[in-house]
Amino acid sequence: MAKLHSKLIWVILIALLVFVAYLYWMPNQHNGATRGAAAVAVKTAKAETKAMIRSISSLGTGIANNSITLVSPTSDFITELNVSEGKKVKKDEVIARLHDVEERARVTELEGVLTEQKRQLERLKNLANTQATAQSLLDEQQTKVNTTLAQLDIAKAQLAEMTIKAPFEGYLGLRQVSQGAYINSGTVITTLDDLHKLRVAFSVAEHYLAEIKVGMPLTVTNAAYGDINFIGTVSAVDTRLDPVTRTVTVHGMLENNDLRLRPGMLLNVKLELDNRMAMQISEKALVPQQQKQFVYTVDENDIVHQTEVTIGQRIPGWVEILSGLKEGDEVVVEGIQKLRSGITINRVGG
């Protein structure tokens, strides 16, 4: 029995010695591993000041700067038609003329009557100066002259309606009638578009309304011309928002002297909201913690330190740094998940 107790005591002592040795050996192994471990491989970049361009994209529709449909103001036969599809016309150039014999005759008749009435009026004025005629006759003749003048104005207006002119310089569209045809009032003759400048109408979310100003630069592309950029500016912002989509319609103006852009085109619009110099880093460098933002900076000994930063505007892939860093500071942009303050890093990649 005594031998059994003695053996048990030795077993317990040996177990205690093994446990104490284990406790001593593990920390040393850990510290040795830590001291001998390779530096963490990461990718870094430097904080730099460069142009920060914020923009929004939208789909727009091309609209002619000036665009009308030329219609007949009255009913009659077409005696002259100067419509060639795609033809450039100047302001006040005759597009079409209707049969206007009656209207011309009416104007000539009234001009003759007016001339005679004015002659009679002058005679009565001369007689009135010598008290040889009544004032009532003079007033009556003046009324006749005024009435004829009004009738002549109406006749001239009716005659003018028989000639359809271009109200501005532009390009004619497709011809809808033929010379010699009898057309009714309101019949479409052709279209006229001013294409030297093209407006683009597009919608912008209510969120950006306060930032949009007339004169802001915008860039337009179209599938027909690939990556070619057409440069323009914001020309107008609607005073109302769409209550359903909560968007505001914006118009931009583009120079189109080469006539490559046409009304009705689907246009990809990129509106530049802001363009300024700002210190920036890659968004991938940020380590959010609660309501704060941190980055890992690298010192001259290749040791990282967690640093709090204040951020400003964001653009795809980049973020503005307002405080916490200075120009040229090196930060970790890849491999952050393996880091903590005090760790040595090894730079990899470009």
Which tens digit of pLDDT belongs to each residue from 32-81? 444 444 578 888 888 998 888 888 899 999 999 899 999 999 999 999 99
Cβ neighbours, 10 Å, residue 207: 10
The confidence score (pLDDT) of residue 183 equals 92
Which residue would you say has higher pLDDT here, 2 or 82?
82
- Sketch the domain layout of the chain as residue ranges: 40-52+277-347, 56-63+194-276, 100-161
Over 50: is that where the pLDDT of 216 sits? yes
Q: How confident is the model at residue 131 (pLDDT cuts 50, 70, 90)?
A: low
pLDDT tens digit string along 180-209? 999 999 999 999 999 999 999 999 999 999
The confidence score (pLDDT) of residue 32 equals 41
Least confident of 107-121, 128-142, 326-340: 128-142
The percent of residues in the chain predicted with pLDDT above 70, rounded, is 87
Cβ–Cβ < 8 Å for 190, 174:
yes
CA distances from 208 to 154, 177, 235, 260 (A): 52, 47, 16, 30
Mean pLDDT of 286-299: 91
Cβ–Cβ < 8 Å for 285, 336:
yes
Amino acid at 228: I
Over 80: is that where the pLDDT of 25 sits? no
Mean pLDDT of 264-270: 94
The confidence score (pLDDT) of residue 238 equals 94
DSSP string, 250-275: EEEEEE-TT--S-TT-EEEEEEEEEE
Distance CA 298, CA 318 (A): 19
Which residue would you say has higher pLDDT here, 247 or 129?
247
Distance CA 48, CA 278 (A): 8
The confidence score (pLDDT) of residue 338 equals 83
The confidence score (pLDDT) of residue 3 equals 55
Both tokens of 309, joined, read 């930063």
Pick the CATH number of 40-52+277-347 from 3.40.50.10790, 2.40.420.20, 1.10.1040.10, 1.10.1740.10: 2.40.420.20
**Which class in CATH covers the domain with range 100-161?**
mainly alpha
Mean pLDDT of 167-179: 92
Mean pLDDT of 128-142: 73
The kind and range of the H/E element at 311 are strand 304-315
Task: Please provide the CATH number assigned to the domain covering 56-63+194-276.
Answer: 2.40.30.170
Least confident of 27-41, 88-102, 283-297: 27-41
Within 8 A by CB and 6+ apart from 161, the residues are 73, 74, 98
